[in-house]
Amino acid sequence: MKNLTPSQMNHLTKHTLFYPDRLSVASELSMDVTWNAGAVANLIRSKCVDGKSPTFLFLGEREATMLSEHLAKVFGVESVVTLNGTYYMGLNVRTIRCERFFAIGGSKTTHASRKVEWAPPIRTGDPPQRPAL
């Protein structure tokens, strides 16, 4: 890369998706046997800050297999041909060549229209009583 002109370097930077290096980026979540959708959702929520949310879900081979099996249970085996081009919980899924890895990265602006500010808070406890007929 030493012989690239500034224009070529700018083009390379703009048009190349840099995948995380599993040796320099620590895996953020460890799953034992099955896909843990709740843990993934919690990690995504923890990364949403100041109107920005993550863009990519980077998975190693084991995690990619677990996600495929999870999606096959939910949507049927025939609907999960590949994870390439798949979005999971709003994140673009990217597999990397290593046995085990899980990381969330990138940044996108969250749209204000997705916020439902007019909705009343969800109450917990006893359900409302129905009037007698």
Identify which of 93, 97, 108 has the alpha carbon closest to the alpha carbon of residue 21.
97
Q: How confident is the model at residue 97 (pLDDT cuts 50, 70, 90)?
A: confident
Helix (H/G/I), strand (E/B), else coil: 47: helix
Q: How confident is the model at residue 13 (pLDDT cuts 50, 70, 90)?
A: very low
**What is the token pair recorded at 97?**
């060549």
**Chain-centroid distance, C-alpha 52:** 13
Is the four-CA dihedral 13, 107, 88, 29 of positive or negative sign?
A: positive
Q: Is residue 77 within 8 Å of residue 68, measured between CB atoms? A: no
The tens digit of pLDDT for each residue in 50-94 reads: 888 899 999 999 999 999 999 999 999 888 888 888 999 999 999
The tens digit of pLDDT for each residue in 105-122 reads: 888 886 654 544 444 555
Q: How confident is the model at residue 28 (pLDDT cuts 50, 70, 90)?
A: confident
Identify which of 35, 36, 58, 54 has the alpha carbon closest to the alpha carbon of residue 44.
54
Q: Which pTM does this prediction carry?
A: 0.66
**What is the token pair recorded at 19?**
């995948």
For the cut 70, the answer to whether the pLDDT of residue 4 exceeds it is no
For the cut 70, the answer to whether the pLDDT of residue 8 exceeds it is no
Distance between CA atoms of residues 107 and 22, nearest Å: 19
Q: How many CB atoms within 10 Å of residue 93?
A: 21
**Chain-centroid distance, C-alpha 89:** 6
Q: Which residue has the higher pLDDT, 34 or 21?
A: 34
